[in-house]
Structures are given as C-alpha cells and as structure tokens.
Amino acid sequence: MFDVKKIYEAKERIKGVVVDTPLSYAPHLSQISGCEVYLKKENLQVTGAFKIRGAYNKIATLEGAQKACGVVAASAGNHAQGVALSASKFGIKAVIVMPESTPLTKVNGVKNYGAEVILHGANYDEAYAYAKSYGEKNSLTFVHPFEDDEVIAGQGTLALDILEGCKDLDAVIIPVGGGGLISGMACAIKNINPKIEVIGVGAKGAPALKNSFDLKTAVDSLSVRTIADGIAVRDTSPITLGYMLETVDRFISVDDEEIASAILFLLEKQKLVVEGAGAVGVAALLHDKLEHLKGKKVAVVLSGGNMDVTLLSVIIEKGLLKSGRKMKLTVTLVDKPGSLMRFTQILQELNANIVHIAYDRTSISLDYGDANVTVHVETKGEEHQQIIHRVLKEENYIRD
C-alpha cells in the first residue's frame, strides 16, 4: 500500500503554492441524484487543475544537482502547466514536449510559465517517448504525470483537503485517467476512514485501466477516443493499478454523451466551467450509475476546468437541441417574392425566434423554381416544438 506519510509531507511542501479550493454543497445535483453532494472545485485551482499538486511536490523533492539540470515532461494539457509553473517557482529549467496537434492556446499557456516547448509526435505516446529520450540525452529529470510516488503523494493531498472540510462522508467520487490522482487520494481516505467508499470514474472511450481493474491485471487498449482528453490514457500503469486494487472500492465508466450533459449541467446549474475529465463524476450521478449512494453524503472531485472553448460551444449547441430550446428546420418553398416572408411570419406568430437562416436554390435535388430554406430557431421546449411542427404541416411546409 502507498506510504501515507508521503502525502502528509507533500501537504506541507505545497502550502502557499496550491490553493485549498472550495468544497461546496450542490443543491440541484443533490436533488437529481438523491444524494447529499459536495463538489470539490479543483477547476478553480492554480493552472485550472489538480495537477499542480503532484508536479510541485515532485520538483520540490529533487536533489540540488537535479534541480540545477532541470526537468522535462510530456503533456498536452494540465500536467504541462503544472510542471511549467512549479519549475518557475524554483527558478529551474523546464522542457515540455507536446504533440504537434496541440492547440496554440495550450502551447502559449505553457510558455507563459517560462517553459520551453517542443512540438513532437502525432499523439501523446510519441511525445512521451521523445521526452524520455530527450531527458536522458540532456540530463533532465523526467516528471511523469502519474507513475511516480512523489507525484501521487502530491495528488493525494486533495483527499486531505476534502476530509478536513467534510468529516462525515460516505463516499468520494474521483476521475480516473492514469490513476495517479485516485491512487494518492484513496490511500489518504482509507488511512483516515476506511469506511468511506472510494469510487473511480473513467471514460468509456479510454477503457484500459477500467478493464485492468476488473481483470486485476494490466492490459492496454489499442486506441482512445473521448472528449475527456485529460483522462484519455491508452496504456495501463502497473504501479497505479496495484495501488488501486488495494484501496479503490468501485470503478465505473461514462460515455461522451453523459460527459457532455454533465459539462452543460455544471455550466448552467453550478456556474462552473469544467472540462470533460473533471465532469465524469457528476456524469455518473446524473445518469444513475451510482444508485446505491442514494441518501448518502458524497464528495465529487471536479479535477479541472481547462475546457477547449470550441468543444464547449459544440456541447452547448447540441445541448440546446436535445433540451428543446433550439430547433433546426428545412422546408421547400416556391422561389418567388413573398414566399420566404410568409414562412418567417408564421414562425414569428408562433414565437419562434430565428437565429440563423440559409437559402438554397441550386441543389440538384430541387425542382426548378423551388428553393430550400433552413432555419435555426429558439424554442421553449418540446411542446412548443410540436406546435411549430403541427402548424407548418397544416400550412403544407412539412410533408410526411
């Protein structure tokens, strides 16, 4: 079992650098899930994610010669920023290897903390291999995102913060990617109160660690595909798997649709921007994956908030369509003066607000003299949409 003393030592090291983020009651989520839910808002952490805890603790424990040479890491996201900021606090060199496809905003975010960025490889695994080789050639200490005891100890401090803020919990729900966060947290939780249930939540699109946990042996996956890029880990770490098998009670998965709905829920109901990886615990509660917790007191870790705004806009748009607050319609009109005006007048009378309109008269599927009109309208729910559909059908704009 992981040495819990390392976690308490890490807590002392990170004081003054890492924020003790809010642990807040979530009334809407509690009502929906039937649990008494508290959200640990690590999306409000320095660099926007929990990763600073492990990165800073690791760098703080390096020997003088190691610090003098500097550190190297591979990451396209939160770990990169955690290492970069931690290195800047100690005034040492940091090199971060990021995949060539990494968005410019993330590259600039790491550079702003003073780190050198090398773009290499088509994915994380290629960047990781290059970073290991680069570190060996240039005498830089490699800071692994999860397969390192000092990193795990730093992540475990999050559990100490939660249990100090809420002492009578029944369960703690933790996002799982490589397993570093849950390894450290579960060790601390079971040491303080073994009766607290530790539940890991992963993404179905990155199944390696979940499969390994179920089989109790390390197996890798061929590929990963999920909007929760912060936990999109392809290969299983035997080290973190071993810790998890000792201390984690349950491990479940949620899919991308469930993750997206949780992101939108947190944005609307909690006024929080949470990335996909950080929202998986909320997704599990929203979609009844943990019904055995009804009536229990539960803490959920929101592990990060570094959400790609382009993806966020897509999630919002799809969410509006699913909830009946937006509707897309395509109708065929006779291409003559007044036809479009009559169509839009009907929508106006039905209190459907047009937010986008497109007019196509050249599609090869159209008869000559006709035109397709596509509109996006704001609506007031499913019943309102049914009324709009019925009226347009009566007016011969829609045919069965």
Domain boundary among 295, 317, 339: 317
Residues 132 and 155 in one domain: no
Active-site hit among 33, 253, 303, 326: 303
Residue 118 lies in domain:
52-142
How far apart are the C-alpha atoms of 109 and 84, rounded to whole Å? 9
User: For residue 117, is it within any domain?
Assistant: yes
Torsion of CA 223, 226, 227, 230, to 10 degrees: -60
Give the model's pLDDT for residue 400.
62
37 and 164 in a single domain? The answer is: yes
Active site residue 271: no
**Are 330 and 386 within one domain?**
yes
Average pLDDT on 283-291 reads 96
With 0-12 / 13-18 / 19 or more C-beta atoms within 10 angstroms meaning exposed / middle / buried, residue 293 is: buried
| Domain limit, last residue, from 142, 160, 185 | 142
Q: What percent of the chain has pLDDT over 90?
A: 87
Residues 86, 126, single domain; the answer is yes
Domain shared by 111 and 180, yes or no: no
Q: In terms of domains, do 166 and 249 share one?
A: yes
Residue 400 in any domain: the answer is: no
pLDDT tens, residue by residue, 177-191? 999 999 999 999 999
- Which CATH number characterizes residue 384's domain? 3.30.70.260
- Total domain count for the chain? 3
To the query of whether residue 86 is one of the catalytic residues in this protein, the response is no
Q: Do 23 and 63 share a domain, yes or no?
A: no
Which of 86, 118, 142 is a domain's end point? Answer: 142
Instruction: Give the global pTM.
Output: 0.90
Q: Do residues 39 and 279 make contact, with C-beta atoms less than 8 angstroms apart?
A: no
Could you say which of 51, 58, 210, 326 is catalytic? 51
- For residue 399, being part of any structural domain is answered with no
Per-residue pLDDT averaged across 71-88, rounded?
A: 94
Residues 174 and 37 in one domain: yes
Same domain, 182 and 271: yes
pLDDT at 102: 82
